[in-house]
């Protein structure tokens, strides 16, 4: 196997993000010890999981001589905001092609995209293929104007981006070992899939002593589990290691609620529980749903009292403001 340290990347995240114990939440869950991996506390652009993927992707962009980074996502995309921040930090120009409808204009991530000086274009598409076509069109236009664009895929999720959370899995394992934690599971959000895929590949390839559980916030299991596996296996090829068995990707889709980006009662309840018990905030689109899933799995007896579970906090907090109307309705304000 090729050691991950030999694959070049730029530096966009701290040496290690904090692994924080949540004692009052743990107590409320019957003694299952919940630890929060604070990947929301990365340095750039208000932080989040995407920076780990961008370390590998933007190294490739620089290596190819790019001067402009194009990426895409929903109007309130955390990935797009962090790509803009990371591009700025490396002296590259960000172009964001965001999908309509424009939720929260001038608010949340859109406000931050503007503050970061990103060139924001809005578009519509029905499929990823159509979206890719649109990104190629934008790249062609920029090339014709003398620029050298590099396209970062939706969510930073391709083989190279997946390596970010192989690195993340090793970091969690190192921290858990130093604290002598009886770590059973790492629970993460699964959306475009590379965060989950990277953790899973890291866990398998390096034989790390925990399992990885994904909570889908968008797609049913039968769609996102194969995607996680596909990404993990493409990244496994980069590391020259064995592919994973199909059953390796464990995803729960019971916590999506009414749909991607739609705020529901259990999510608000999880957000408020964590805020009240620990003073830690999570977001309504990704981490709030994942936390609702973790809390429900704990109550179902997935882990025993005393066992440790890591909740991966992947960021996304600007959405708290973009979704303030829906959240106020749920809270009853």
Ligand X SMILES: Cc1ncc(COP(=O)(O)O)c(C=O)c1O
Query: Least distance to ligand X from the beta carbon of 117, Å?
Result: 21
Record the tokens describing residue 320, joined without a space: 């708290």
* 28 catalytic residue (yes or no): no
Q: How far apart are CA 254 and CA 319, in angstroms?
A: 22
Q: Is 273 in the site for ligand X (CB under 6 A)?
A: no
The four Cα atoms 250, 248, 225, 81 give a dihedral, to 10 degrees, of 80
Residues 110-169 that bind ligand X (CB under 6 A): 155, 157
Q: Which residue's Cβ has the minimum distance to ligand X?
A: 316
Q: Which of 77, 191, 192, 216 is catalytic?
A: 77
Q: How far apart are CA 153 and CA 160, in angstroms?
A: 11
Query: Least distance to ligand X from the beta carbon of 189, Å?
Result: 4
Contacting range for ligand X; rule: CB under 6 A; set: 54-62, 122-130, 192-200, 245-253: 192-200
Q: How far apart are CA 211 and CA 197, in angstroms?
A: 12
Q: Find the binder of ligand X among 45, 153, 316, 318 (CB under 6 A).
A: 316
How many C-beta atoms lie closer than 10 Å to residue 197's C-beta? 33
- Site map 20..49 versus ligand X, x via CB under 6 A: ----------------------------xx
Residue 171 CB-density burial (10 A; 0-12 exposed, 13-18 middle, 19+ buried): buried
Q: Is 293 in the site for ligand X (CB under 6 A)?
A: no
Q: Mark 1-30 as b/e (b = at least 16 C-beta within 10 Å).
A: eeebeebebbebbeeebebbebeebbebbe
User: HSE of 26 in the Cβ direction (CA atoms, 13 Å)?
Assistant: 18
Q: Find the binder of ligand X among 195, 204, 233, 273 (CB under 6 A).
A: 195
Query: Least distance to ligand X from the beta carbon of 158, Å?
Result: 11
Of the two residues 109 and 330, which places its CB atom closer to ligand X in the complex? 109
Of the two residues 25 and 194, which places its CB atom closer to ligand X in the complex? 194
Q: Find the binder of ligand X among 191, 203, 233, 267 (CB under 6 A).
A: 191
HEC string of 83-141 equals HHHHHHHCCCEEEEEEECCCCCCCCHHHHHHHHCCCEEEEECCCCHHHHHHHHHHHHHH
Of the two residues 29 and 194, which places its CB atom closer to ligand X in the complex? 194
Of the two residues 29 and 82, which places its CB atom closer to ligand X in the complex? 82
Residues marked active site are found at 77
Rule CB under 6 A: which residues touch ligand X?
48-49, 78-79, 155, 157, 189-196, 286-287, 314-316
């Amino acid at each position: 196997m090729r050691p991950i340290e030999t694959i070049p990347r730029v530096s966009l995240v701290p040496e290690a993000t904090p692994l924080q114990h949540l004692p009052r939440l743990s107590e409320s869950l019957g003694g299952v010890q919940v630890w929060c991996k604070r990947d929301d506390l990365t340095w750039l652009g208000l932080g989040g999981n995407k920076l780990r993927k961008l370390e590998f992707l933007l190294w490739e962009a620089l290596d190819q001589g790019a001067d402009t980074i194009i990426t895409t996502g929903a109007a309130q995309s955390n990935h797009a905001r962090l790509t803009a921040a990371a591009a700025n930090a490396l002296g590259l120009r960000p172009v964001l092609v965001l999908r309509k409808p424009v939720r929260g204009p001038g608010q949340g991530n859109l406000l931050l995209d503007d503050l970061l000086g990103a060139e924001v274009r809005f578009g519509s598409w029905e499929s990823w293929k159509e979206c890719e076509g649109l990104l190629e069109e934008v790249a062609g236009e920029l090339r014709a104007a003398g620029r050298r664009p590099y396209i970062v895929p939706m969510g930073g999720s391709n083989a190279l981006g997946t390596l970010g959370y192989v690195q993340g899995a090793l970091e969690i394992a190192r921290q858990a070992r130093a604290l002598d934690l009886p770590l059973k599971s790492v629970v993460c959000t699964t959306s475009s899939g590379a965060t989950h895929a990277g953790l899973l590949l890291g866990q398998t390839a390096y034989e790390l002593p925990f399992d990885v559980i994904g909570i889908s916030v968008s797609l049913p299991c039968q769609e996102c589990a194969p995607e996680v596996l596909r990404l993990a296996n493409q990244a496994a090829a980069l590391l020259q290691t064995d592919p994973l068995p199909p059953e390796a990707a464990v995803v729960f889709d019971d916590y999506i609620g009414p749909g991607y980006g739609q705020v529901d009662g259990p999510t608000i309840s999880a957000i408020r529980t964590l805020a009240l018990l620990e003073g830690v905030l999570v977001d309504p689109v990704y981490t709030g749903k994942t936390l609702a899933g973790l809390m429900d799995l704990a109550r179902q007896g997935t882990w025993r009292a005393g066992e440790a579970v890591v909740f991966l906090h992947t960021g996304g907090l600007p959405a708290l403001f973009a979704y303030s109307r829906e959240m106020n309705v749920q809270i009853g304000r």
